[in-house]
Structure 1
């Protein structure tokens, strides 16, 4: 009887696994350490690992859809993806179009310039300057609020960094969680300011009103992963702690 019972349990688990829902997770894998393509040509990063742990808790499979950052919300609204996991900040404007999970990471806007630029030292001096930022991000929104700023909104964050390095832009506004990583790699760049980004933090996004049950389960899973230490291990792994 014990063997039969074990066999039935195993069969049941296999059936559940086979029937597990496959969720399409949209990301923009150009934003290390949150999402990027590694040397094995695999999409990885903090968000991807966190989503994998959440999937175990909730009980779903997922596949990653890699598209440009500014295309993520349109793809979500069109039903091409089910969730956005792309270091996306929950802003009031975005909340009009999508639902967000509870925040899983908080950050600030980091202002970066070339080290040889001795004139640019404070926010007021950004007026009329050329400022680079990644297209569709909170940082692009911040750049557009600067008086008379010439905003260079670039598809990938690497391009926005290179615009400053190559003197095509005077300053870069970037998320602090990845900005410090670029500063370590580029001694010719320096931070001169950091400010709140005006958002509630990075969250997963869902098409508005379409996935409320899944959203609730993911919120619960985030809480569980923070309690059991898994979340902190991921922060340490990606040098975010």
Structure 2
């Protein structure tokens, strides 16, 4: 009986994704967020999210095309039908859930505050008053920064630009997702973290247009769990140095 129920469930799921899988699924990302998505030495879009989508495509059964764009333009592109899925280290927040549906979370991170190592004036969040802080446009970190009291927000499309502005003394701090921020800290010994806190989300998830792909999301959630159980997920974490 359990096998029959499982077969019926999978059949219903595949029937539900037939409208999408009949054509190549367009996966929107922002390839300026290593190690989740970035341009590699061969000018290809690579990263944890890209590998995850590839694994999902094999097990769910769909072809896909990666579409690179600004992070703040991903949800509008999803809503307008220019892309079908967002795979871009996007945090599932209550506000975003009003506009899109999310898969189960596949990675949980925190908000990380970074400064120049030589800056002795900043040691806590309170020290950011009347200071400037860099963030990536459209992220939960931008939202968090704009809630800080009397802080000048320097919002850019590429978090690398914010890191460079910090290193060059043009801004006082950077607020970034911890999984991305630690990557920059490992490669730049002149910058350090000075504060970390929860980002208020359920973690990184794949996003879909609201109420349109319920069955596909269910199948993807099943496969994400399968990847966790068969060791594939851990292998990806190792590959991109994301194990905590």
Please give the TM-score of this superposition, normalised by the length of structure 2.
0.90
Q: Is 1:61 equivalent to 2:63 in the alignment?
A: yes
> Matches of 2:36 and 2:78 in 1, distance apart?
19
Deviations 1:45-80 (A, max 9, x none): 000001100111100010000000000000000000
Q: Is 1:23 equivalent to 2:25 in the alignment?
A: yes
Aligned counterpart, 2:235: 233
Q: How is 1:71-110 mapped onto 2 (pairs within 5 angstroms)?
A: 71-110=73-112
**Alignment check: 8 A CA contact 1:107 1:177 kept:** yes
Aligned counterpart, 1:208: 210
Q: Using the TM superposition, give the Cα deviation of residue 126 of structure 1 relative to its aligned residue in structure 2, in angstroms.
A: 1.4
Q: Can you give the 5+ residue segments of structure 2 that lack an aligned partner in the other structure?
A: 1-17
Q: Is 1:159 equivalent to 2:161 in the alignment?
A: yes
> Matches of 1:113 and 1:35 in 2, distance apart?
24
- SS of 1:146's partner is coil
How large is the RMSD of aligned CA atoms in angstroms? Answer: 1.2
Q: Using the TM superposition, give the Cα deviation of residue 117 of structure 1 relative to its aligned residue in structure 2, in angstroms.
A: 0.4
**Alignment check: 8 A CA contact 1:25 1:82 kept:** yes
Work out which of the residue numbers 178, 198, 201 in structure 2 matches 1:199: 201
**Alignment check: 8 A CA contact 1:89 1:203 kept:** yes
Deviations 1:95-144 (A, max 9, x none): 11100000000001110001110110011111221011011101111100
Q: Using the TM superposition, give the Cα deviation of residue 21 of structure 1 relative to its aligned residue in structure 2, in angstroms.
A: 3.9
> Matches of 2:65 and 2:217 in 1, distance apart?
17
Aligned counterpart, 1:182: 184
- SS of 1:63's partner is strand
> Matches of 1:106 and 1:196 in 2, distance apart?
9
Work out which of the residue numbers 103, 123, 127 in structure 2 matches 1:121: 123
> Matches of 1:117 and 1:67 in 2, distance apart?
34
Runs of 4+ that moved beyond 6 A: none
> Matches of 2:146 and 2:130 in 1, distance apart?
11
Q: Using the TM superposition, give the Cα deviation of residue 185 of structure 1 relative to its aligned residue in structure 2, in angstroms.
A: 1.3
Aligned counterpart, 2:226: 224
Aligned counterpart, 2:39: 37
- SS of 1:75's partner is helix
**Alignment check: 8 A CA contact 1:20 1:59 kept:** no
Aligned counterpart, 2:51: 49
Q: Using the TM superposition, give the Cα deviation of residue 20 of structure 1 relative to its aligned residue in structure 2, in angstroms.
A: 5.2
- SS of 1:172's partner is strand
Q: Using the TM superposition, give the Cα deviation of residue 178 of structure 1 relative to its aligned residue in structure 2, in angstroms.
A: 1.1
Quick check: which has more Rg, 1 or 2?
1
